Structure 1
Amino acid sequence: MLLKMKRLYLLLAFLVFVTYAIYRLEPYVRIQMDDETLSATMLRANLDVAEIGYMEGTTRRLRYLQIGQDSSKPLLVFIHGAPSSSAWWLSMMRDSSLRHDANILAIDRPGYGGSGLGKPMTSVQEQAANVASVIRTRRYPGQKVILHGSSYGGTVSARIAMDFPELIDGLLLQSASLAPSQEYTYWITNPNSLWALSWLLPSGLNSANHEKLAHEAELVDMADEWYHINATTVILHGTDDWLIYPRNAYYACDKLVNAPILIHHMVPDKQHDLLYTAPKLLKHYLHFLIDTV
């Protein structure tokens, strides 16, 4: 009888764990949309004016979303974190004031969405080169470019501004991972890098997991390149961010010695997801960058 009760408790615990895992993973699966699903989602969000397109980067074909092709306006580029996709930015793309003041471009990073879902690209420099190639192709000659990178997208955005300083005029690094070893790593990350377990993960999470394991070395590789950034820069970070620690923001501020304007804003009592908890603040700084450049 006692053995049966133990088995029952173990079964219940396993079912609770599976239910919780599905609940937590579902948003990351849902956001990795194919073109048809993404198009239907944008239609429901009154974003039918957005163009879904593909562009060959340096080593990977990337998918992008774009609204507006007015050469008199700057190009506002959104780079998502991990695991995510360009669909992460639909709420920002809906904003009429941003659409009035800028053309908007959101790009699926390599390994996500329509840019080789589940095929991770762990080199930040290689990701930066691919994304920069799309930006360069989608901008008009002489058009100002503002880059907004969130979380791991902030890492890639910083690398773009380092490697292609002539391309980026304004930079918003939001909740960005920038300092080596200053981020939380889930206990399951290393075991899931093994093939025997990684095949169980949704494709987007598998890409994120491989990026995570390579992240520290990639950030160390960037450490001596910060002086190349010459764009007006805003560093925005929550004081209670337990995933990407606040020390990342202070590290970047110390490194950005050649940014002509540098704003460092720590958001009190906010955690990692400022897109949902502080959207007005994000838009405030995006408009500041638009007006400045």
Structure 2
Amino acid sequence: MKLLKKILKFTGITLFVILLVLYFLFWKFSAPKSDQQVIERFSQSTIAPTLSHENFKGFEYRKLSIIKDTTLPTLVFIHGTIGSSTDFVKYMKDSLLLSKANMISYDRIGYNYQDKNPVQESINFERDMLQDILQGINPKKTIVVGYSYGGPIALALQKKIHKVLLLAPAVYSEVEPMPWTLNFYKWKFTRWLVPPVWQEASREKLSHKQDLQKFENNWKSTPNQIVSIHGTNDWIVPHENSTFLEQLFPKNQFKLINISDAGHGFIWSKFDTIKQHLIQELD
């Protein structure tokens, strides 16, 4: 009996330590990276981006820019929830893409390194910030790429540009899932367990459905050509988001590309596939 108690005690302590280590790694891995850490991710790239701190309506944010030839088209990436400008590092390091395009990626408010500002919970705000970022870039050579929550921001753009490319866009409130894990943020006695950047992501997620309802009946007012790429096995942002858009837009304005058996993380897991579609839009 004493041996059994010792075994159970040892097992309990071991599991507790493992959980603490996993929690620490989760916190550290998901936290926004410092400027130095971001630049280090491009250490093996042939072209390093310019890292700058910009201002929009009194909010400071970080932007990565690779502008080498103004005659080339420009890809502007918008990250999702949770996310950051570094979500697109692999694309911004790719030699073939670098030969064909300039690239910009930025941290939305609330997702910057040591950001003291909250997420704005507003597609309107995000759209206006995007339009500010696009100033000075030739609109006829601009392709805005919106991933996940970045999708509705790109789609809300009323400025005419070359094209809007959506990657698993969260644009339809009727199929917006609310994971049970959001309760860790909603319950005050467990909120302290949620890392700060995940608290911001949770706030944005909880308000997203209501915010979408202000836009989803007017998505077709965009003047832009739309391409939506979506994984058929996406349960975080269901594939129905893109089929909703397909039914909404005329065929000469909208194209849906399905990625079989791909989930929401396909911008990483299906990099080569997404890269080829980007190249097709650039050529």
TM-score normalised by structure 2 residue count: 0.87
1:27 aligned partner: 29
Check whether the contact 1:239–1:267 (CA below 8 A) recurs between aligned residues: yes
User: Which amino acid in the other structure matches residue 145 of structure 2?
Assistant: H
Query: Would you say the 8 A contact 2:77–2:144 is kept in 1?
Result: yes
1:147 is aligned to 144
Contact 1:63-1:115 within 8 A present in 2 as well: no
SS class of match (1:136) = coil
Aligned to 1:156: 153
Over 3 Å counting, the alpha-carbon distance change for 1:4 and 1:127 in structure 2 is farther
Residues of 2 paired with 1:47 and 1:22: CA distance?
Answer: 33
| 1:245 paired residue number | 238
Aligned to 1:165: 159
Q: Counterpart in 1 of 2:85? A: 86
Residues 158 and 11 of structure 1: CA distance in aligned 2, closer, same or farther (over 3 Å): farther
SS of 1:221's partner is coil
Instruction: Return the offset for 1:178.
Output: 1.2
8 Å CA contact 2:145–2:151 kept in 1: the answer is yes
Query: What is the CA distance between 1:199 and its match in structure 2?
Result: 4.0
- Give the % identical residues: 23
SS in 2 for 1:224: coil
Corresponding residue for residue 96 of structure 1: 95
> 1-side partners of 2:208 and 2:245: how far apart?
16
Cα distance per residue 1:61-118 (max 9 Å; x no partner):
2211111242211111011112221111110001122111111111111111249366
Which residue of 259, 262, 278 maps to 1:286? 278
Give distance in 1, aligned partners of 2:178 and 2:19.
20
3-state SS in 1 of match to 2:230: strand
Structure 1 residue ranges without an equivalent (≥5): none
Conserved 8 A contact 2:80-2:149? yes
Over 3 Å counting, the alpha-carbon distance change for 1:58 and 1:288 in structure 2 is farther
**Is the contact between residue 61 and residue 112 of structure 2 (CA under 8 Å) also seen in structure 1?**
no
Structure-2 separation of matches of 1:123 and 1:33: 24
The aligned residue for residue 259 of structure 2 is 267
In structure 2, do the counterparts of structure 1 residues 117 and 280 end up closer, same or farther at CA, with 3 Å as the change threshold? farther
When the two chains are superposed, the root-mean-square deviation of aligned CA atoms in Å is 2.6
Cα deviation code 1:192-213 (max 9, x no counterpart): 1455543443232121111011
Q: Following the alignment from structure 2 to structure 1, what is the Cα–Cα distance between the partners of residues 102 and 27?
A: 32
Q: Name stretches of at least 5 consecutive residues in structure 2 with no aligned partner.
A: none
Q: Is the 8 A contact 1:180 1:219 kept in 2?
A: yes
Query: Number of paired residues?
Result: 281
Residue 14 of structure 1: how far off its partner (Å): 4.2
Change (3 A) 1:41 1:280: closer
Q: For the structure 1 residues 199 and 124, does the alpha-carbon distance in structure 2 shift closer, same or farther, using more than 3 Å as the test? A: farther
Distance in 2 of aligned mates of 1:219 and 1:23: 33
**Pairing partner for 1:218 from 182, 194, 211:** 211
Give TM-score scaled by structure 1 length.
0.84
**Helix, strand or coil at the partner of 1:264:** strand
Aligned partners of 1:61, 1:97: CA distance in 2, in Å? 32
Report SS of the residue matched to 2:120.
coil
